[in-house]
Copies of this chain bind each other. A is one copy, B any other.
Amino acid sequence: MSPSRVREGGQRGWIVPIGGAEDKDNGKEILRRFFDLCGGRGAEIAVIPTASQRNGTGSRYEHLFGELGAAKVSVLDFDTRRDAQERNRISRIEHASGIFITGGNQLRLSTILGGTPIAQAIRARSAEGVPVGGTSAGASILSEHMIAGGASDNPTPHADGVRLAPGLGLTNRVVIDQHFRQRDRLGRLLAALAYNPFAIGLGVDEDTAAFISPENVIEVVGSGSLTVIDADDLQFSSMAQHDDDEPVCMLGVRLHVLTAGATFNLMTRSAAAGALAPVKD
């Protein structure tokens, strides 16, 4: 499931992983920015609450995007893989100007939607330029390699510290983890990169989002931080030499802590402070 091909002359849509617990009561900065990217008042947003098993998750976002002024919000829930083949729901995705995936359990998303026409439709819409955002589990599912689980509360990597699963594959440049600071997940994100250092790790805090532009430049929005782990220069990893819960040696990781307004270019792997003034030349 590498990303769907973008049409000649076209542009992929924004990809917007949110770390969970985004503000829904005050400025709604992250949701508002996403709503604007979807077309603002003309937006038709499809909300997928499948990760959640709580009643009311879908309708809550329906209400939120409605309040922001979306022309139409459809809540599309999927309980079975069969639901993910239903023509009417596929059509909603095909007409949406934005797709939003709620939190819950990312394995529910991957096991129910993975490989179905709905997943294909989301991938195709992303390749056609439609923004796709997700919060918490909905953030994890966006990338090719998804963190499905693993040890929280552990900042150092362990050989068995993370479980990966294939995600929606809107991009394969990043591996996303969420509730990052709140659940102390540096260790599992490092472990995921130790497996194969090609990707860039994004640790997204709560009430924080990585807005990944069609040009693959990330801008940070929200009250927390985005931790960017770049293992491109990784000198050494002992991952292949360990079993079980032994700590893993990783030498030469580059780390950036980005706050609101700061940017990271996934193509050049360079960070910039954005609107924040430089302290040092």
Contact = CB atoms under 8 A, between A and B. Distances in A.
Interface of A: 153-157, 180-181, 184, 186-187, 190, 205, 223-225, 227, 234-241, 246-259, 262, 271-273, 276-280
A246 B259 CA distance: 9
Given A156-B225, A227-B155, A253 B256 contact: yes
Contacts of A241: 276-277, 279
Contact of A154 (B157, B181, B187, B255): B181
Contacts of A280: 234-237
B257 A250 contact: yes
Contacts of A238: 259, 273, 276, 279
Contacts of A237: 279-280
Given A259-B248, A271-B251, A181 B155 contact: yes
Contact of A257 (B205, B225, B253): B253
Given A157-B257, A249-B259, 15 more contacts: A155-B184, A205-B247, A223-B247, A235-B271, A236-B276, A236-B278, A236-B280, A237-B280, A241-B277, A248-B259, A249-B258, A249-B273, A251-B272, A252-B254, A255-B255
A39 B241 CA distance: 34
15 contacts: A154-B181, A156-B205, A186-B186, A235-B273, A236-B271, A236-B278, A236-B279, A238-B259, A238-B276, A238-B279, A239-B279, A247-B259, A251-B271, A252-B256, A254-B255
A156 B224 contact: yes
B156 A227 contact: yes
A180 B187 CA distance: 12
Contact of A250 (B236, B249, B256): B256
A249 B225 CA distance: 8
Contacts of A278: 236
A239 B271 CA distance: 16
B247 A251 contact: no
Contacts of A255: 250, 253-255
Contacts of A277: 241
A234 B236 CA distance: 22
Contacts of A234: 280
A237 B258 CA distance: 10
Contact of A180 (B155, B205, B271, B276): B155
